[in-house]
Structure 1
Amino acid sequence: MSTKLPPLNALKVFEVAARKLSFSQTAIELCVTQGAVSKQIKTLEEYLQLALFDRTPTGLQLTDAGKFYLPTIMEALEQIHSSTVGLQQFSAETQHLTLNISPSLSSLWMIPRLNLLNQTFPSLRLNIVSGDGAYQFHQASADVAIRCLPMSLSHQNATLLKKETLLPVIHKDLLVYTPINEPNDFFKHYLIHPTTRPQLWQQCLSSVLSSEKRERVLKSHHAFEHFFMSLEAVKQKQGIALIPEFLVADLLDDSELINPLGFKYESGYGYYFLTPSYRQQNTLIKQLYEWFDDNLEA
């Protein structure tokens, strides 16, 4: 018997034919003629000097030699396939981008979706940094930025991804003895303020309260710079906070945190995708924008 390796094409045909036990079905799967299948099997059997199939009146059957050979060939072909895919991914050109993104959006939304991002962009390597407020691109700065900005202003090199809808969120345990049955009941709880928008609670409650009730003193508690910090305080039963809906939706589904009265507040802010003008035609950046646009709406 020859010590050289058998023909790879013949091994592949054998593996399919052994699974199908039909040369005609093998030909369909491999998109070749039935004659080509028969020829490859004959070539392999002559090479091995062993019959791999019995052609019986009831159909094709594996011989003892074929049954012995099949598991090893299946495993070997799978290893070749896996190694080839891995090599292709390894050798694909890796693309690097720096993304400057607001801290809460990064920690509460993007990081939990990195596996989804990796599936869409297997060769993309992001350098993720955080920041808030207006962003100015300059030399050696980020390639892309995502910011929560006032929608009333015109922002250069910016495309709106999503309007900000805020929900008042509270731990369910705080409602056991102090329920919220109407908007006025918000005043019975400590309100967690965002330091970057100190008037946010007042603006929110003004949208649902009569003018005389708007003058009531708010029970303020700790204030935090970022939404992810306020959300953690809510989890620790420190009070009630206004959190963007898409950042807290999964937690509300678990019923530990609650949006009393199902109340929503359109803040007048939005999440923007910012790109310097000289990179706006970059194919990868366009695709990354589409990924954010699709998944923020999901």
Structure 2
Amino acid sequence: MVNHFPPLNALRVFEVAARRLSFSKAADELCVTQGAVSKQIQLLESYLSRPLFNRTPQGLTLTEAGKHYLPEITAAMQQIVSATAALQQARKNTLTLNISPSFSNLWLIPKLSELQHSLPDLKLSMVTGDGPIQFGEQEADLAIRCLPLSLNHEHATLLTEEILLPVVHRDLFLQNATSSKEALLSLPLILHTTRPELWTQFYSYLFPDSEAILPSNSCAVGFEHFFMSHAAILQKQGVGLLPDFMIESTLASSNLVNPFGIRYASGYGYYLLTSPYKAYDPNIMALKTWLTQQLATA
């Protein structure tokens, strides 16, 4: 099919020249020289092996071939313009968000109906990712990442600080008659493999004046993401540290509890990262506002 495709630039020139019935007016509309218009028409006529214009002292007229060809080419051009405009409009309102699996699974996906109600014109495409992101290398307009709290993250907006809760299944808690914070930490501790010192830091926060050592009672299996730890806690595998905004709204309904109401500020936060050249995109700004408001009330 490609081998039989006529020269596109010549088709565009033909459509304008046939509509205006003037090479000079076509040149003005296309911002080229009259000679360039004439050359493109000759190229197309040579490709088709027939003339498209009658060149007379009184001006241009279309040949019979030109009269039949023009409406078909005009329709095709309009279809291309319409298809391009539709694609550009769809892209205009579509954002690709690169997001950590835990943030999406435990918080954002359950809130999609609220997001769609608040921003009905926004189309959001989500892909999962973790770690550093280079917007030029990945097809994403923005990303959400958990990073150490800092004022030096470029093109980043802090959505919420990370507050971790020690969460356990109600049955496991009751079965072990866990009546103190020390006893809670004697249960199997679910490790977060990408932050292996998390339990040690939490223990130091919980008992700042104690010389006791964190019990060596971790689970046999560690997990990379909070949503995986959440699944293990539901299966009564042990105690896990989970971000408050991801879990608080479902604590009662899921039989998970934070028995002593402990809240631990980890020194991390969840940031919205944007591509520098899209920082002021209206859709990104609207989504940023919605995320900030929702997490402020979580």
TM-score w.r.t. the length of structure 1 is: 0.66
Give 1:118 deviation, angstroms. 1.1
Tell me the distance in 1 between the aligned counterparts of 2:124 and 2:193: 29
Whichever residue aligns with residue 130 of structure 1, its letter is: T
Q: Secondary structure at the match of 1:253?
A: coil
Mean alpha-carbon deviation: is it higher for 175-184 or for 189-198?
175-184
Equivalent in 171, 194, 197 of residue 195 of structure 2: 197
Specify the alignment match of 2:241 in structure 1: 242
The answer (yes or no) to whether the contact 1:102–1:147 under 8 Å persists in 2 is yes
CA separation of 1:283 and 1:216: change in aligned 2, threshold 3 A: closer
- Number of the residue aligned with 2:136: 138
- Aligned counterparts of 2:177 and 2:236: Cα–Cα separation in 1: 14
Alignment partner of 1:223: what SS?
Answer: coil
Determine the C-alpha separation between the residues in 2 that align with 1:165 and 1:190: 21
Alignment of 1:176-255 (within 5 A): 176-209=174-207, 210-213=209-212, 215-221=213-219, 222-254=221-253
CA RMSD of aligned residues (A): 1.9
Structure 1 counterpart of 2:148: 150
Summarize deviations over 1:231-254 as a string: whole Å, max 9, x none: 010000000000000111122132
Following the alignment from structure 2 to structure 1, what is the Cα–Cα distance between the partners of residues 263 and 137? 40
Residue 153 of structure 1: how far off its partner (Å):
6.6
> 1:288 is matched with which residue?
287
Q: Name the residue aligned to 1:63.
A: none
Structure 1 residues 152 and 281: alpha-carbon distance in aligned structure 2, compared to 1, 3 A threshold: closer
Instruction: Report the equivalent of 1:47.
Output: none
1:259 aligns to what? 258
Match of 2:118 among 117, 120, 135: 120
Q: Which amino acid aligns with 2:165?
A: L
Q: Say how many residue pairs are matched.
A: 207
What is the rounded CA distance, in whole Å, between the counterparts of 2:239 and 2:138 in structure 1?
40
Letter in 2 for 1:169: V
Question: For 1:128, what is the secondary structure of its paired residue?
Answer: strand
Letter of the structure 1 residue corresponding to residue 109 of structure 2: I
Scaled by the length of structure 2, the TM-score of the pair is 0.66
Q: Is the 8 A contact 1:101 1:131 kept in 2?
A: yes
Distance 1:255 1:231, change over 3 A: closer
Secondary structure (helix, strand or coil) at the match of 1:286 reads helix
Taking the aligned partners of 2:136 and 2:262, their CA distance within structure 1 comes to: 41
Identity among equivalent positions (%) equals 46
